[in-house]
Structure 1
């Protein structure tokens, strides 16, 4: 029995060393490390994600202590901050893929799910203003217990105003989880939870990786337009505005020449035409005949 116990202990120790070594080797091989939280992830969802990410990432799933030890042994720049993001049931993802593109793949694969008691809210959860499917009764008191103002409208219970029932990062209690399910609100997401990504000493949290592409492009275009206008106003020349600035300078110089009657070759025709129009106007007022 003692020999068997020693054998198991020896195998466990060897496995731990192997996993820690694997983390170190992958950390040196790949420039990007993703920290995942696999808590509440069904096996079917994990298999699906592995299939979608095959050839793009290498996953290491093990105990939190081994994950932390492996990362610590890598002696990464800003490594202590990275360790703070190891939470829940952690896993590590090693890749050469763009972190933002990777997050997009992971996000698209997620599916909505009902909340369970004790789960952490992924964002501020809001019960929206408006009618509910409930008929008047005890449910009004249940709403009140959750801090939700409700009344009766058109024979149905209605929420009077948008109400934040739990903040991001806070646990969802049993009563709230039950109410969310009855309202058909599915605030949770089933899929890989990418907590953060580490690259060259920089840690990108989920909030940074989760880019609204349409809003990003709109912001980018607005910034480019504002920068262009600023360069025009300041007279700063570059390849993007030089044609516009030259055209602007030509038009302004031309106007100065016309106003001053400068007989430059480019202006003679317009100055003579202007003089003729002015002479015609004076002649018309004085009833004078002009011979062309």
Structure 2
């Protein structure tokens, strides 16, 4: 039996849906400029559905078994970096196919993140605070939950009040949220877990990009861009390089230089006459003072 016959028999033994997905994954890398992986370990199903709906016209999102994708990519040899990307498929992943820059994609995903109630075992990405004030919860067994979380309380007007702002989880100290604390925060309507997807790894324009490569601080980047712009303008002015941004300054600078040269050389014009007369007056006063100091008198 030939190897082709064996391959055909193996192919017919797979479910039709899996075969269609296999074929689609062989074709998608050639249709899009960017291929990315998003780790789905902390992504809620509702978040993924929202992202699918919002980007349905600009992105293909495939949540599949890693081995199916890896087998498909093995047959797609003309895409640079695809084999390296394939090796990163571990755990629950989503494959993203798009023509949007991975840097812009990460920024778009950040804007679509929401805060969700915590579950036991979640890890805090930032310090979690329970604010001071009226919780609206009547006294009862829940008081023991506050005590266990080291949250100071008092009873006032028939409800539990938190006495002061209290950090219940520190992100730098492991940041693991217990089941009891998650339950307490749910009662207080505190939603500390940021949910959404982000780009973990991407290939684009021959580049292999990891998550840290794709993180952009827009405020810091904007400040650096403004500083670079001012430095470029200063350099262009010094080099007398004309651009739409420098031409006005260069014309003014040239005018000032020409005017200064004309005044220094005593050239009389409508632009220099006032300055020349003022300089002559000052020179005359200085000369008069020198003559007076020498013992001469002026009439």
TM-score by length of 1: 0.68
Q: Which residue of 1 aligns with 2:6?
A: none
> Shift of the alpha carbon at 1:199?
0.6
Task: For residues 84-137 of structure 1, give each alpha carbon's deviation from its aligned partner in whole angstroms, at most 9, with x where no partner exists.
Answer: 65344212121223434444444444332112123454xx32034852657996
* 2:51 corresponding residue in structure 1: 49
1:241 and 2:274 are equivalent in the alignment: no
Distance 1:118 1:67, change over 3 A: farther
Are the counterparts in 2 of residues 263 and 271 from structure 1 also a CA contact under 8 Å?
A: no
> Normalising by the residue count of structure 2, what TM-score does the alignment of the two structures yield?
0.67
Q: Which runs of 5+ in 1 are unaligned?
A: 1-6, 145-149
Size of the aligned set, in residue pairs, is: 273
Return 162-171 or 216-225, whichever deviates more.
Answer: 162-171
Post-superposition offset of 1:190: 4.1
Query: Which of the numbers 177, 181, 186 marks the counterpart of 2:182?
Result: 177
Match of 1:31 among 30, 33, 53: 33
Q: Secondary structure at the match of 1:158?
A: coil
Relative distance call for 1:195 and 1:185 in structure 2 (3 A) is farther
Which aligned pairs between 1:128-139 and structure 2 lie closer than 5 A? 128=129, 131=132, 133=134, 138=144
The answer (yes or no) to whether the contact 2:116–2:193 under 8 Å persists in 1 is: yes
Alignment check: 8 A CA contact 1:120 1:168 kept: no
1:278 aligns to 2:279 (yes or no)? no
Say if 2:11 and 2:19, in contact at 8 Å, map to a contact too: no
Equivalence for 1:60: 62
RMSD of aligned Cα (Å):
4.4
1:59 to partner: Cα distance: 2.4
Q: Helix, strand or coil for the counterpart of 2:203?
A: strand
- Could you list the runs of 5+ residues in structure 2 that have no partner in the other structure? 1-8
